[in-house]
């Protein structure tokens, strides 16, 4: 949810319209959670769940074994994945056909922030793979959200931007 909120705030910083919201069901504690973000140059009037995303970001690579991350993904869509594996390995193991962006966000988070929290790190991958928001638009929302630890989050985000590999589908 943090990544979704920061993405929406960054889009708004850049003069776009945005909304972010979680999807909670009857899942048990610790179950996979989905969050949605809409970003547009025009006002957003719909408030429903996103059924056909343009981009899917997977913070926890173990979800690939239990969730079809390409389900509903629009033609030309992007899957952005936190993984230490190569694009080729991911395609072989999962069958993902879409444009795929990979980054070892867990490693970056541990080395940069000393915690295995990948939400802001993955935003760097989002910027690199999609261009939907810019790195400069993220600075203020991250500083506001994280205060004294914002710089570490910004550094992790920037490093992920540099290290993300993008492969066409």
The pLDDT tens digits of the residues spanning 70-103 come to: 999 999 999 999 999 999 999 999 999 999 999 9
Range 29-44 average pLDDT: 83
The tokens describing 57, both together, are 């970001």
pLDDT-based confidence at residue 27 (cuts at 50, 70, 90): low
Rg for the chain (alpha carbons), in Å?
A: 15
CA 152-154-159 angle, to 5 degrees, is 95
- Any idea what the CATH number is for the domain that residue 97 is in? 3.40.920.10
The mean pLDDT of the chain is 91
The per-residue pLDDT for 74 is: 95
- Specify the 3-state DSSP secondary structure of 130: helix
Question: 113 and 149 in contact (C-beta within 8 Å)?
Answer: yes
What is the domain extent for residue 154?
2-167
Task: Quote the distance between the C-alpha of residue 155 and its chain's center.
Answer: 16
Q: Which two tokens stand for residue 68?
A: 């079809």
pLDDT tens string 132-144: 999 999 999 999 9
* Tally of structural domains, the chain: 1
- Residue 121: per-residue pLDDT: 95
């Amino acid at each position: 949810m943090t990544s979704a909120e920061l993405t929406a705030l960054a889009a708004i910083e850049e003069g776009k319209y945005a909304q972010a919201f979680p999807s909670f069901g009857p899942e048990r504690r610790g179950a996979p959670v989905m969050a949605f973000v809409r970003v547009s140059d025009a006002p957003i009037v719909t408030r429903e769940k996103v059924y056909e995303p343009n981009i899917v970001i997977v913070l926890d690579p173990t979800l690939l074994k239990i969730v079809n991350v390409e389900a509903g993904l629009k033609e030309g869509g992007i899957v952005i994945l936190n993984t230490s594996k190569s694009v080729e390995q991911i395609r072989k193991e999962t069958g993902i056909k879409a444009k795929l962006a990979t980054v070892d966000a867990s490693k970056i988070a541990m080395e940069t922030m000393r915690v295995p929290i990948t939400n802001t790190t993955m935003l760097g991958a989002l910027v690199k793979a999609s261009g939907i928001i810019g790195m400069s638009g993220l600075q203020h929302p991250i500083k506001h959200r994280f205060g004294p630890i914002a710089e570490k989050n910004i550094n992790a985000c920037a490093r992920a931007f540099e290290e993300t590999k993008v492969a066409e589908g």
